[in-house]
């Protein structure tokens, strides 16, 4: 297979060149075609792949490229190249959302087979913090034909991640490593692994159950030739179809059918006044906090239902899914009976969701199954049809069987169906609970699919509902319930669940039980479940205020609201120093420990920036008279600017004019600007150990080109000693220090 030289082409990457993306794509394919035609016939027919790489822009919510824009950019490439090539290769992807956009564009605009290879980091993680299984679940749901790894590192480092990929994938697996880890020798990137060693390691990888091998950066024809010689007589192994029922987000996945799961039921407006009001007013911050709360109470999956008669459900559903995914990486269950809302949510969801629901009605199956087939997901089938809900277990089982068969006729594998045998209240029919449970057992045993139940309906119309709900929950778990839709905050429900896990051997050494139930105060009925996260984090700084917590959770709206409240009683500097900075420090510490990933880091940064926006507005107009002009910049290679912006606003408030050169500013630009504007004082900020050297470089250049300019420095990566070492005139650990120094300079 030859790859057309189209990897780096997209409408965004050609900006500023004299070419359009389609021109370059066609030219790249023409060259590959020509080469393919010249491949000697004894080697066989060479296929030409339309090679597509990432767009080079971060997608929402991490960056500003929307999902629809990304799909359209990939679609342009696919429309241009598909007819001229034999397959599509999506390479070097490490953001699951971008993988989804590219896969969708490929599938919507061509019938070619699609190969997806991702690039993982040394911990085997994607940009979003997820492992490759989240990508396998999503990509297989979207119809990928082959999946694997490429780039990043060599075969030696890649090998340890291959078995998990093979265990998860039902489609054939591809592995294209580099010729080792890249090393810069005399300014040139080199790769140390020689052809013989590369080929031997690839042979080992092949034996793990991989189907296709290749090479990425640093591999040469000699590497590939030797690899083919060593591997060509090995049998070709195709992946076995896996029967695992997996749902995922961009960061986590859950398997249905192993340990029972908890689906959090709280994001559903039925009977919830506050949620109804939030949905009507577009207060998605409320939905986010409900999501976080259920996550901390132990939910595995979150149900999202926004059905209210007076709202635009498709628009609200899409937004709700996006907003919830900004703050939690738990997989979601998209719960709607409106196929338009369902499609919008499925399209924009980042992962492989649960789809709630389909039922035995032909009309509903014809509307929902094509969506599930196109976007992927695990579909919940309700045992109701045109004749209503059968009042026998056999009747419900028959509908379940029909749903599974009809799903298969749409090309949806049985493993991607779970059945809900419907809970009705025992207040109206004495056998209701038994019928549901008998049907559940039949479905589990005879159909072999996972089961789901909305548990709390069983007590509708009765007093002290949790008593009945929790007993029914235990009975259902005992009959094989795979996932209960419950309130994870209910103490009795959580107890029923935890005790069940202990009794059924899902809680090794009863550790979870001992941890959760040693304190008698916590086992009182009616109390809300305490967040296990809060206790896990006890070695860290506790949340000191609601603003601190909002920044930690990445909740922008809440952070703004809490800043407004705090400003009524506290001084802005105190809020910055006691809430904002410590919260960001904790985020940074969790990031360093590998507990937080880039999405959380970015959402917290955004919340802090929004909070600071409120402080800035409250500080009011800056004085008209200028005491002097200061240039502020974050140094080259560093995009952290929250601290620099705080310094800027304080300087302005104390009467200085600030020329803000922004972030990632090269030394030459800073020096030229200072010189051109005859500025007496420059403030530099750097937050990373890797960028303080650029700060030193800026100071060196300034001393050479414009020695009369004074330089103050700051940022978490610095210390007084280091600042002295690199020749800065002044260092301060906080923004007020910058103001005092400016006062002394212009004083």
Interacting residue ranges for ligand B12, rule: CB under 6 A:
581, 584-585, 587-588, 591-592, 598, 601-602, 605, 637-644, 646-647, 683-685, 687-690, 712-717, 732, 734-735, 737-738
Which lies closer to ligand B12 via its Cβ, residue 91 or residue 95?
95
Which lies closer to ligand B12 via its Cβ, residue 339 or residue 737?
737
The per-residue b/e assignment along 166-192, b for 16 or more CB within 10 angstroms, e otherwise, is bebbbbbbbbbbbbbebeeeeeeeebe
Which lies closer to ligand B12 via its Cβ, residue 350 or residue 470?
350
Quote the crossing angle between the two packed helices 195-206 and 221-231, to the nearest 10°.
40
Distance CA 28, CA 161 (A): 32
Is the Cβ–Cβ distance between 494 and 488 less than 8 Å? yes
Which lies closer to ligand B12 via its Cβ, residue 91 or residue 641?
641
Number of other residues whose CB lies within 10 A of the CB of residue 509:
8
**Smallest gap, in angstroms, from Cβ of residue 618 to ligand B12?**
17
Is the Cβ–Cβ distance between 57 and 78 less than 8 Å? no
**Smallest gap, in angstroms, from Cβ of residue 558 to ligand B12?**
17
Which lies closer to ligand B12 via its Cβ, residue 210 or residue 581?
581
**Smallest gap, in angstroms, from Cβ of residue 652 to ligand B12?**
14
**Smallest gap, in angstroms, from Cβ of residue 731 to ligand B12?**
7
Which lies closer to ligand B12 via its Cβ, residue 158 or residue 605?
605
Which lies closer to ligand B12 via its Cβ, residue 46 or residue 181?
181
Q: Which helix (H) or strand (E) holds 639?
A: none
Is the Cβ–Cβ distance between 148 and 177 less than 8 Å? no
**Smallest gap, in angstroms, from Cβ of residue 593 to ligand B12?**
9
**Smallest gap, in angstroms, from Cβ of residue 708 to ligand B12?**
18
Which lies closer to ligand B12 via its Cβ, residue 177 or residue 715?
715
**Smallest gap, in angstroms, from Cβ of residue 490 to ligand B12?**
35
Is the Cβ–Cβ distance between 174 and 147 less than 8 Å? yes
- 3-class SS shares of the chain: helix, strand, coil, % to 5: 50, 15, 35
Which lies closer to ligand B12 via its Cβ, residue 507 or residue 610?
610
**Smallest gap, in angstroms, from Cβ of residue 539 to ligand B12?**
16
Q: Where are the alpha helices (DSSP H) in 50-172?
A: 67-81, 96-109, 132-141, 155-158, 162-168
Long-range contacts of 281-287 (CB under 8 A, 24+ apart): 282/316, 282/319, 283/557, 284/319, 284/320, 284/323, 284/557, 285/555, 285/556, 285/557, 285/558, 285/561, 287/320, 287/323, 287/324
Q: Tokens 């979207």 identify what position? A: 142
**Smallest gap, in angstroms, from Cβ of residue 285 to ligand B12?**
20
The 2-3 sheet, strands edge to edge: 2-3, 48-52, 87-93, 114-118, 146-150, 173-176, 212-213
Which lies closer to ligand B12 via its Cβ, residue 308 or residue 602?
602
**Smallest gap, in angstroms, from Cβ of residue 561 to ligand B12?**
20
Distance CA 327, CA 510 (A): 31
Q: Tokens 């039925």 identify what position? A: 270
For residue 441, report the phi and psi dihedrals to the nearest 5 degrees: -65, -40
3-state SS class at 34: helix
Q: In terms of residues, how long is the chain?
A: 747
Distance CA 380, CA 421 (A): 10
**Smallest gap, in angstroms, from Cβ of residue 127 to ligand B12?**
8
Torsion of CA 328, 470, 464, 525, to 10 degrees: -70
Between the alpha carbon of residue 724 and those of residues 289, 637, 647, 697, the distances in Å are 45, 22, 20, 14
Which lies closer to ligand B12 via its Cβ, residue 323 or residue 638?
638
**Smallest gap, in angstroms, from Cβ of residue 606 to ligand B12?**
8
DSSP state of 58: P
Which lies closer to ligand B12 via its Cβ, residue 592 or residue 621?
592
**Smallest gap, in angstroms, from Cβ of residue 97 to ligand B12?**
16
Which lies closer to ligand B12 via its Cβ, residue 126 or residue 246?
126
Between the alpha carbon of residue 213 and those of residues 182, 453, 489, the distances in Å are 20, 44, 49
Which lies closer to ligand B12 via its Cβ, residue 231 or residue 598?
598
**Smallest gap, in angstroms, from Cβ of residue 252 to ligand B12?**
19
Is the Cβ–Cβ distance between 199 and 173 less than 8 Å? no
Q: What is the CA radius of gyration of the chain?
A: 29
Half-sphere exposure of 663 (CA within 13 A, CB side): 14
């Amino acid at each position: 297979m030859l790859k057309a030289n189209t990897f780096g082409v997209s409408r965004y990457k050609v900006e500023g060149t004299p070419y359009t993306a389609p021109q370059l794509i066609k030219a790249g394919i023409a060259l590959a075609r020509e080469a393919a035609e010249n491949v000697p016939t004894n080697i066989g027919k060479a296929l030409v792949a339309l090679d597509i790489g990432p767009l080079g822009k971060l997608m929402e919510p991490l960056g500003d490229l929307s999902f629809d824009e990304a799909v359209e950019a990939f679609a342009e490439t696919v429309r241009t190249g598909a007819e001229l090539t034999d397959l599509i290769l999506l390479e070097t992807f490490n953001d699951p959302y971008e993988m989804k956009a590219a896969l969708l564009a490929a599938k919507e605009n061509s019938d070619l087979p699609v190969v997806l290879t991702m690039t993982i980091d040394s911990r085997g993680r994607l940009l979003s913090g997820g492992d490759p299984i989240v990508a396998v679940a999503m990509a297989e749901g979207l119809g990928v034909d082959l999946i694997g790894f490429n780039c990043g590192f060599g075969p030696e480092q890649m090998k340890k991640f291959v078995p998990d990929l093979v265990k998860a994938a039902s489609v054939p697996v591809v592995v294209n490593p580099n010729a080792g880890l890249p090393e810069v020798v005399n300014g040139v990137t080199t790769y140390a692994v020689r052809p013989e060693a590369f080929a031997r390691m690839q042979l080992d990888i092949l034996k793990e159950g991989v189907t296709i091998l290749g090479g990425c950066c640093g591999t040469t024809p000699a590497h590939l030739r030797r690899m083919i010689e060593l591997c060509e007589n090995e049998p070709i192994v195709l992946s076995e179809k896996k029967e695992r029922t997996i749902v995922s987000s961009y960061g986590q996945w859950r398997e249905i059918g192993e340990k029972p799961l908890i689906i959090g039921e709280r994001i559903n407006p039925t009977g919830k006044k506050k949620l109804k009001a939030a949905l009507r007013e577009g207060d998605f911050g409320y939905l986010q906090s409900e999501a976080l709360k259920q996550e901390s109470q132990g939910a595995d999956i979150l149900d999202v239902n926004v059905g209210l008669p007076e709202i635009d459900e498709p628009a609200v559903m899409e937004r709700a899914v996006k907003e919830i995914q900004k703050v939690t990486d738990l997989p979601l269950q998209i719960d709607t009976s409106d196929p338009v809302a369902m499609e919008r949510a499925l399209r924009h969801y980042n992962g492989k969701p649960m789809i709630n629901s389909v039922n035995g009605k032909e009309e509903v199956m014809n509307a929902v199954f094509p969506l599930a087939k196109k976007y992927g997901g695990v579909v919940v089938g309700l045992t109701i049809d045109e004749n209503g809900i059968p009042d026998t277990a056999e009747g419900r089982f028959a509908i379940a069987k029909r749903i599974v068969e009809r799903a298969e006729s749409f090309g949806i594998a049985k493993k991607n169906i779970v059945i809900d045998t419907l809970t009705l209240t025992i207040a109206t029919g004495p056998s209701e609970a038994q019928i549901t449970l008998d049907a559940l057992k039949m479905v589990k045993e005879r159909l072999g699919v996972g089961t789901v139940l909305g548990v709390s309906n069983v007590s509708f119309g009765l007093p002290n509902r949790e008593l009945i709900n929790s007993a029914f929950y235990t009975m259902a778990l005992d009959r094989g319930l795979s996932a209960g839709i419950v309130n994870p905050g209910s103490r009795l429900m959580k107890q029923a669940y935890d005790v069940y896990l202990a009794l059924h051997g899902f809680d090794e050494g009863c550790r979870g039980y001992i941890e959760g139930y040693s304190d008698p105060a916590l086992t009182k009925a009616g109390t809300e479940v305490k967040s296990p996260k809060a206790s896990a984090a006890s070695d860290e700084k506790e949340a000191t205020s609601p603003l601190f917590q909002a920044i930690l959770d990445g909740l922008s709206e809440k952070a703004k609201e809490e800043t407004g409240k705090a400003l009524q009683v506290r001084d802005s500097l105190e809020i910055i120093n006691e809430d904002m900075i410590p919260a960001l420090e904790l985020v940074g510490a969790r990031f360093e420990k590998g507990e937080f990933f880039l999405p959380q880091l970015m959402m917290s940064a955004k919340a802090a920036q929004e909070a600071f926006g409120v402080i800035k507005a409250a500080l009011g107009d800056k004085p008209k008279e200028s005491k002097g002009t200061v240039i502020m910049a974050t140094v080259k290679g560093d995009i952290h600017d929250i601290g620099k912006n705080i310094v800027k606003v304080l300087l302005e408030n104390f009467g200085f004019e600030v020329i803000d050169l922004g972030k990632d500013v090269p030394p030459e630009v800073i020096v030229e600007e200072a010189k051109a504007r005859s500025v007496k004082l420059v403030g530099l900020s750097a937050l990373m150990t890797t960028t303080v050297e650029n700060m030193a470089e800026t100071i060196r250049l300034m001393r050479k080109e414009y020695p009369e300019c004074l330089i103050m420095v700051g940022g978490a990566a610095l210390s007084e000693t280091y600042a002295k070492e690199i020749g800065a005139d002044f260092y301060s650990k906080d923004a007020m220090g910058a103001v005092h120094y400016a006062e002394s300079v212009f004083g």
